[in-house]
Amino acid sequence: MNFFDNIPTIRYQGPEATDPFSFRYYDAERMVAGKTMAEHLRFAVSCWHTFLGTGQDIFGSAVHSRSWSGANDPMERARMTIRAAFEFCQKIGMQYYCFHDRDIAPEGETFAQSCKNLEEIVKLAGELQKETGVKLLWGTANLFSNPRFTHGASTNPNAHVFAYAAAQVKHAMDATKELGGDGYVFWGGREGYETLLNTDMKKEQENLATFLHMAVDYAKKIGFTGQFLIEPKPKEPTKHQYDFDAGTVLGFLRAYGLIDHFKLNIEANHATLAGHTFAHELTVAASAGKLGSIDVNRGDLLLGWDTDQFPTDLYETTQAMLVLLQHGGIGRGGLNFDAKLRRGSTDLEDLFHAHIGGMDTFARGLLVADKIISDGKLNDCIAKRYSSYESGIGKTIRDGKADFDMLEKWILENGEPKLMSGRQEYLENLLNCYI
Ligand code: GLC
Ligand code: MN
Ligand code: MN
């Protein structure tokens, strides 16, 4: 069955192209800074939004209806949906996909039935991967939709739920391994609390750490070598989530002896919800050597929740690609479109416009970032700003050979430091020259 017959295969046609079903910047094979665009960007489609999204919100029911969602039998629906996913990836030239266990296969009456359902669809997905060459970027378990997870998964006050979550993650890891996934994501949407009046925060965080250690042990046991990723988000659905932001997660991983086993999956809109910029969160993760993968989307400045919109802001994508290029790239991670159509974007073709726009905006951001780096002006300014650490007293400090007594003596001899401009407006203008 073909689900996208009315849509042409999307190809690169160059910046002058007027065909909305073409890429103007994303040219998969084009070399940029020593790698192809496809190698830099490793785009992925997210099964939950792109193939299951209905435009539903808390004020209204589904408005998007898709031909692959029509079957009455949930397993037949799942088979059609995974076929649609691979056809979509081929049409648009997406190399990877990401899923939660419950996106690709429905829950059954019992846990055992749920596992069987998942195994069947995983087998089909494996065949489709072989047929199409599309690969799995990462898999994960949905530990937040079912009512049993209302009070959390591994941080649930009820040990029975902890055990259920563990059993579910075990199978989701098996599925990810079988499909050759490059990563496995832990997003703790309900790992947090609503009120301290009923919460033992310390116990919950210890349990979360115990759970993650079990996952590390299980990966070793089955020989899963994909990268474990934690995706920070400060709130929503829970009022206060333990994986608040990149800095908080890094501190948590260090405190519980997990730091060597995890990297971070940074999502643009989760960064802004935490009161940071996307580039800030990427930089925190990358500076610690822990930038593992990215969920690309954006929020809305006027709204305080996770709108998961498709990325269209060239300033944001340029800054993101600057961080990536300067920190050696995304490795085994990728750029996953964790983004959904607006409720009013009802048509199948809107799915294509959305992904084309996102891919082009990142491809263009990559080109701009590469130009900024090769021109060197921006980095020269930064290097100059810190040049006092290259020699003299600055070098002594950097070498770890200074102490307070020595610096007091030095100040008594050298007096007042000279105030230097940060040149912010100049640099903002400079950035505009490239964009
Ligand atoms: C949920 C979150 C999303 C996360 C995904 C993977 O869908 O909304 O941000 O990336 O789960 O766990
Ligand atoms: Mn995400
Ligand atoms: Mn989000």
On whether residue 162 sits in a domain, the answer given is yes
Span between the terminal Cα atoms of the chain, in Å: 43
Q: Are residues 294 and 414 in the same domain?
A: no
Which residues are identified as catalytic?
Answer: 100, 103
Q: Which atom of ligand 1 is nearest to the CA of 185?
A: 12
CB-CB neighbours of 56 under 10 Å:
12
**pTM, 2 dp:** 0.98
Number of domains composing the chain: 2
Q: For residue 200, give its domain range.
A: 11-375
Instruction: Determine which residue's CA is closest to atom 11 belonging to ligand 1.
Output: 187
Q: Are residues 223 and 363 in the same domain?
A: yes
Structure confidence at residue 37 (pLDDT): 98
With a 6 Å cutoff on the Cβ, whether 138 touches ligand 1 is no
> In angstroms, what is the span from residue 333 Cα to ligand 2's centroid?
13
> In angstroms, what is the span from residue 94 Cα to ligand 1's centroid?
19
Residue pair 197/144 in contact by the 8 Å Cβ criterion:
no
With a 6 Å cutoff on the Cβ, whether 103 touches ligand 1 is no
On whether residue 4 sits in a domain, the answer given is no
Structure confidence at residue 128 (pLDDT): 98
Please count the helices (runs of H) and the strands (runs of E) in the chain: 16, 14
Structure confidence at residue 192 (pLDDT): 98
With a 6 Å cutoff on the Cβ, whether 187 touches ligand 1 is yes
Which ligand does the CA of 295 lie closest to?
2
Which ligand does the CA of 266 lie closest to?
2
Q: Are residues 196 and 324 in the same domain?
A: yes
DSSP 138-153: EEE---SSSGGGTT-S
Q: Are residues 370 and 383 in the same domain?
A: no
Instruction: Determine which residue's CA is closest to atom 7 belonging to ligand 1.
Output: 48
Q: Are residues 371 and 383 in the same domain?
A: no
Structure confidence at residue 207 (pLDDT): 99
Q: Are residues 410 and 282 in the same domain?
A: no
Dist. CA 213–CA 230, nearest whole Å: 13
Q: Are residues 289 and 427 in the same domain?
A: no
On whether residue 3 sits in a domain, the answer given is no
- Residues placed in the known binding site for Mg(2+): 231, 267, 270, 295, 306, 308, 338
User: Could you write out the three-class secondary structure of 309-329?
Assistant: ECCCCHHHHHHHHHHHHHCCC
Which domain CATH number covers 181? 3.20.20.150
Q: Are residues 285 and 417 in the same domain?
A: no
Q: Are residues 414 and 367 in the same domain?
A: no
Structure confidence at residue 12 (pLDDT): 98
Structure confidence at residue 186 (pLDDT): 99
Coil, helix or strand for 88? Answer: helix
With a 6 Å cutoff on the Cβ, whether 87 touches ligand 1 is no
Last residue of a domain, one of 347, 375, 403: 375
Q: Which atom of ligand 1 is nearest to the CA of 336?
A: 10
Q: Which atom of ligand 1 is nearest to the CA of 267?
A: 9
| Unique residue bearing structure tokens 């802004």 | 272
pLDDT tens over the chain, length 435 residues: 799 999 999 999 999 999 999 999 999 999 999 999 999 999 999 999 999 999 999 999 999 999 999 999 999 999 999 999 999 999 999 999 999 999 999 999 999 999 999 999 999 999 999 999 999 999 999 999 999 999 999 999 999 999 999 999 999 999 999 999 999 999 999 999 999 999 999 999 999 999 999 999 999 999 999 999 999 999 999 999 999 999 999 999 999 999 999 999 999 999 999 999 999 999 999 999 999 999 999 999 999 999 999 999 999 999 999 999 999 999 999 999 999 999 999 999 999 999 999 999 999 999 999 999 999 999 999 999 999 999 999 999 999 999 999 999 999 999 999 999 999 999 999 999 999
With a 6 Å cutoff on the Cβ, whether 140 touches ligand 1 is yes
Structure confidence at residue 102 (pLDDT): 98
On whether residue 186 sits in a domain, the answer given is yes
